[in-house]
Amino acid sequence: MTLPLLVAVPADVRAFETYVWHCSPDTYLKAILKGAGAVPVIVPALSEGFDVEALLSRFDGVLTTGSASNVHPERYGVAPSARHEPYDRDRDTLSVAMIRGAVRLGLPLLAICRGHQELNVAFGGTLATEIQELDGRHDHRAPELPEQAERFAIRHPVRVEAGGRLREIVGAEEIRVNSLHRQAVDRLGEGLAVEARAEDGTVEAVSVAGAEGFTLGVQWHPEYWVESDPASAAIFRAFGAACRAYRGS
């Protein structure tokens, strides 16, 4: 019997129904299953409870998701304010450890939205908040619309850098993406390479230069349209192929 590919997904921590929950949005979980051909496994954000790198030895890939929370600014040397909230410190601790561990091990890594920002912070980069207020920047926030499909609609182009991992995956100089963020990469992390930018210069995708394994961070949400958008599907197919190659190595 062939065992399924397993992809580790760091949990968000949420309090509701009188409990503290460790959870993940199902759009990411379904995209891993349908788009990458792997089984997602939510890893609880019990940051002091286990050796993260030892845990990763049981997996074939890591996917870090988007979230309503933001990376705590103390992690990149900025004083916290209401403009940076809300936070999830346990998610920060787990995700950063999983990202660093995955890169060290050559374990395939796909980092989306918050995960993309975590990847930058994990490599010493910083984040800018409320980027729509910066000179020359567009408004990248989610539109205030009632339907989720309208909020996640594909809205703007990004320019894909020549010679990069993303260009190889999507096979195009430009793709169109959705936009649901108010924070973005400010100073690029050490050793990261820009893979795509928006028209206003916002860093929309990065990779780890010289990494042994597949590493890609994207600011948008390919998980939402993995079954209908060619670029989104290509990203998850490439991630799944990398996970299978890692399993076979």
Residues with catalytic function: 113, 221, 223
DSSP-derived 3-state class of residue 18: coil
Which amino acid is located at 117 in the chain? Q
Q: In this structure, what token pair is assigned to residue 177? A: 């993406």
- Residue among 112, 118, 102 nearest 31 (CA): 112
Contact 94, 52 (CB under 8 A): yes
As a whole number of angstroms, the distance between CA 235 and CA 74 comes to 31
Q: Is 55 exposed, middle or buried (0-12, 13-18, 19+ CB in 10 A)?
A: middle
Q: 44: cis peptide before it, omega within 30°?
A: no
Number of other CB atoms surrounding residue 146 within 10 Å: 6
Q: Which residues on neighbouring strands pair with residue 122, listed in sequence order?
A: none
Alpha carbons 108 and 43: distance in angstroms, whole number? 16
**Cα–Cα distance measured from residue 7 to residue 35, given in angstroms and rounded to the nearest whole number:** 12
Q: Is the preceding peptide bond at 86 cis, omega within 30 degrees of 0?
A: yes
State which H helix or E strand residue 164 sits in: none
